[in-house]
Chains A and B, each alone.
Chain A
Amino acid sequence: MNDLEKYILKNRDELDHLEPVPEEAMWKKIRANSIPQKPPTRTGFNWKLLAIATLVLSVAGWGLLFFKKQATVPPVVTPPKQEVPIAEQPLEENEMPAVEQTVPIAARQPDKPTQEQIAAAERKVPPSIAKQPKRKAKRVTEEEAAAQTTIFAEEQELQQLVVQKQQEIGLDTLDRATYADLLKELDELEISVAEARRDLGGIPQQERLMETLIRYYELKIRILEQINYEINKQKYHEALEKRI
């Protein structure tokens, strides 16, 4: 290596600063030629819509199941209608006696059919058919009970997970303004599930309600995880700021 080579290598860095570099102009062209932009992290996922869709599907599914069951149940045999004078009906407390008129016995809700009426109805239905719904109803109830126990355990597990996530995040002390979007989604989810509890609160709907609740917990956990991710991202950027 001669002196010229040595001199060039010694001043190597200078060689990278001799010409003016049109940095801004080139950058604009690079941007215009599309640096691939990854889509921004989705924080605005519409959990409410998803929750509502879940609820609608749940209710629709239950409704379908209910009507299907109704269609397969043998027709209820009602005792022959008899008309009795209103005056013979027992009066409720503080109820004024009515004027003379008649109502069908079937419409008198508090009254139960008499033994004679039941016996008469059973005579019209073959015993094999008459007893079938009763046995079937008992078996279904046991299965349902087992299923509900499983779902209940699952719900409890998810509930614990939600509590754990909330504690990790410190949800109660979180700055609501910073995570407004996600917290709003969480609130909307709470409203949706409250509506579900109200609409599906009856005993026959318990299974559907439990399924809806489990879905609700799953959604809630996902939102909490999203909040956790945002918190960690914020911490990372704060750490970078401190390095200045």
Chain B
Amino acid sequence: MTAIETISEIELVQLCRNGDEQAQRQLYSRYVGAMFHTVLRLTANREDAEDLTQEVFIKVFEKLDSFRGESTVGAWIKRVAVNTTLNFLRQANRLKMVAVESQNLPPEAEPEVDETAWANDIRRIHEAMGELPDGCRLVFNLHLLEGYRHQDVAQMLGITESTSKTQYMRAKRILREKLMVGN
């Protein structure tokens, strides 16, 4: 293990700011996996995910001077990744939400899924998530996996908070159905 692999985030960021290529490579290696998968889940397209991940890291190295250390560098890079991806989807006109009749999706109406259908198979869930329609897939990922509140998701996607909630319920319903079918 080399010294650069063991240094702290703050030191690594400082070296990157100074143009240290080894440090930049190290920062990239630490976060590329997580960022690629985040972008891939949001776009559901491998080619787009590769292009966007590259764009994200180019932006990260360009704007590293603006990182103030108010969050972890990982969280900061994640924000860059999410914003870059959403801008891409917006330009590609892929942020459209399919209208959902909220009365059809009361939480209490959710059919329970046999746990054995998806337990111990995160890959199946991952694949099913990739098959969700754009709008509800975005909401599901941003809310459940990236931890944004519905209020924040609504702001990011330019929708209302209630739309965000209904899209989330729709995503769960479709996901369960897919997992049941797969079983």
Could you tell me which A residues sit within 8 Å of B by CB distance? 2-5, 7-9, 11-12, 14-19, 21-23, 25-27, 29-30, 33-40, 237, 240-241, 243-244
Contacts and interface: CB of A to CB of B under 8 A. Distances in A.
A35 B61 contact: yes
Interface of B is mostly: helix
B33 A4 contact: no
Contacts, number: 103
A33 B126 CA distance: 31
Contacts of B32: 21, 23, 26-27
Nearest to A239: B3
A19 B46 contact: yes
Contacts of A18: 37, 122-123, 126
Interface in B33-90: 33-34, 36-38, 40-41, 46, 50, 53-54, 57-58, 61-62
Contacts of B148: none
B26 to A, nearest CB: 11
Interface stretch (B94-102, B110-118, B131-139, B156-164): B110-118
Nearest to B34: A16
7 contacts: A16-B33, A16-B34, A16-B38, A19-B46, A21-B33, A30-B57, A36-B19
B151 interface: no
A243 B7 contact: yes
Nearest to B56: A30
B181 interface: no
Contacts of A9: 144
Interface residues of B, number: 47
Contacts of B115: 3, 7
A244 B2 CA distance: 7
B1 A240 contact: no
Interface string B142-175: 0011000000000000000000000000001001
Contact of B11 (A33, A35, A240): A240
A81 to B, nearest CB: 76
Contact of A38 (B4, B18, B36, B57): B18
A1 to B, nearest CB: 9
Contact of B6 (A3, A5, A17, A243): A243
Contacts of B58: 30, 33-35
Nearest to A10: B122
Contact of A33 (B24, B54, B113): B54
A52 B34 CA distance: 57
Contacts of A19: 36-37, 40, 46
